[in-house]
Structure 1
């Protein structure tokens, strides 16, 4: 039987102090545990900084959409996507369910606390152990059906949450399948066997939905919503509420805010696509800032091949930059080396 994404994380347990979030509703000052060094390249209250976003906004109905997506993946590792086919009602419903969940008292949310060896449920960001300070963030992770965790929180009223999350996951997978086909066509040279997993069963696909909540923060300039990192996924599709916070790092420009664009979804590339494309496509380094005036919500859909799938750099007229390995093996390497995983599989000599 194939290993699932959830099972792939069992070999990399976390300590409970890296899982249990603070009860942010009771805080009026920033605790030292969440106080980061002040940043000189951006602050939390950036709602009014800049007009528009330099991150490309791509219309999926544009005849040149595939080429534009390729350029965005090469230059940014991220883009905003409009006319993507996901009904607005689907996105609004999932955001409302996220708000309903995170508004619950802490003791209710803790009933679905992620276990030390688990990958689903309520808790801190999984990247927490790699940073000296905690993040101003609460999360809820779904892999497969959300019902087991939802029943712990709403024993008699879990069905609406499950139905909405299942539908959202189904719709996001269909969009991700479409984008993956476009990206693979751009790369060229990928055999039908290597991309057979696209449009396949979700039973062992590396997919997850992550609900994120960033409460109002008393000192946003000294806090961090989500610390800088890249995603392990092939690609990530993100819905963000109409509150600024997400930033993408671009060489030569620094941290660039991704201003919410109505009815658009943010797409950014992950490590698996970076490896597969032999570094042609970036893996987007991103972070989330917080502010004192507004709460922020986001819903991330992570998408990638099955954990037993072998990822090999596509080499047409150059040498491979990375060694081939399974998705599960890479998850294990990154679970121990968040920021150095790619260098550890690099084939380039120093």
Structure 2
């Protein structure tokens, strides 16, 4: 535990140690902030398939995927009580005594579950990032539930319920994206069959000087979709138009949907993977719950032939999801470098 020196253990630091101070070009605030908000889409409550959604919702989701690669959904059908419980348990976990968390602590990035701090894969700068995190596999539920944290005592049940609900929501959203592309609504479900869901709880304590560091650097996700839950503390920023950071406004009980790079590959670039980063603040702890919905490792990542036309020729070669994860890690989650690794050269 002492070796890791979790930011959330002990008193709040009064200065930013050199190990967290980023080079000037990597610090927040180098790009002007945009006042253009990311889309907020009302799903109309309930669950069900995309057949329950009217054409305007499908078009809104597709347009948001093309423009931002990120949007918020409200009236999504996940019970408010479950959202409150998973947030309370996630925040409570980081407030546990040291001895209750010590068994999860590790500096081995491949261990799951893992409680750690700083950077996971973003190591080229030689700097750490201002966060602690808990990462675990949580789907299939039957396979991983025995590894869920035992404290707080309600955490295991909350993870189980939230995993089931978020997977259903992700499936529903992918069906609507498929319909927006003119594909069969079940087009993406083959990729998800047998795929895992990983939970990442990011915990960002107050930072003495937020201008010097980041909670997470600019990156794109390796999931097909990421579903993010937060409270009312700002921090997430999404890159729009390649030059403007859009601050995501927290909305009560909204789920933030972030399109990952596999979805950009699956759609031949018609849906964009959102590049995003996390800034810190000097006064308030921020805790977020991220659910990464991933294809199975042997899944073939390739666009539907119906998406390839004379006007939109095929941009990327086919590859397995396992090959993608290796390339993405080597590129340190950089969107452009990962796309280039699979681009068809003409």
- Pick the TM interval, shorter chain: 0.7 to 0.9
Match of 2:89 in 1: 97
Answer whether contact 2:202 2:289 (CA < 8 A) is retained: yes
1:181 aligns with 2:175: yes
Answer whether contact 1:233 1:271 (CA < 8 A) is retained: yes
1:256-295 aligned within 5 A: 256-295=246-285
- Correspondence for 1:65 among 54, 57, 61: 57
Structure 2 Cα separation of the partners of residues 285 and 256 of structure 1: 11
Q: For residues 101 and 212 of structure 1, do their structure 2 counterparts lie closer, same or farther at Cα, with a shift above 3 Å needed?
A: same
- 1:35 positional shift: 1.1
Q: For residues 128 and 119 of structure 1, do their structure 2 counterparts lie closer, same or farther at Cα, with a shift above 3 Å needed?
A: farther
TM-score, normalised relative to structure 1 = 0.83
Q: For residues 84 and 191 of structure 1, do their structure 2 counterparts lie closer, same or farther at Cα, with a shift above 3 Å needed?
A: closer
Q: Deviations over 1:37-89 (max 9, x none)?
A: 4579955xxxxx998x6111111127311100000000111111111001111
Match of 1:309 in 2: 299
Match of 1:150 in 2: 149
Segments of structure 2 that go 5 or more residues without pairing to the other structure are 45-52, 139-143
Structure 2 Cα separation of the partners of residues 193 and 237 of structure 1: 20
Answer whether contact 1:60 1:84 (CA < 8 A) is retained: yes
Q: For residues 269 and 185 of structure 1, do their structure 2 counterparts lie closer, same or farther at Cα, with a shift above 3 Å needed?
A: same
Q: How many residues align?
A: 319
SS at match of 2:217: strand
Structure 2 Cα separation of the partners of residues 278 and 120 of structure 1: 34
SS at match of 1:129: coil
- 1:106 positional shift: 4.4
Match of 1:345 in 2: 342
Calculate the aligned-residue CA RMSD, in Å. 2.8
Segments of structure 1 that go 5 or more residues without pairing to the other structure are 1-15, 44-48
Answer whether contact 1:94 1:164 (CA < 8 A) is retained: yes
- Correspondence for 1:238 among 208, 228, 232: 228
Q: For residues 116 and 220 of structure 1, do their structure 2 counterparts lie closer, same or farther at Cα, with a shift above 3 Å needed?
A: closer
TM-score, normalised relative to structure 2 = 0.84
Q: For residues 28 and 194 of structure 1, do their structure 2 counterparts lie closer, same or farther at Cα, with a shift above 3 Å needed?
A: closer
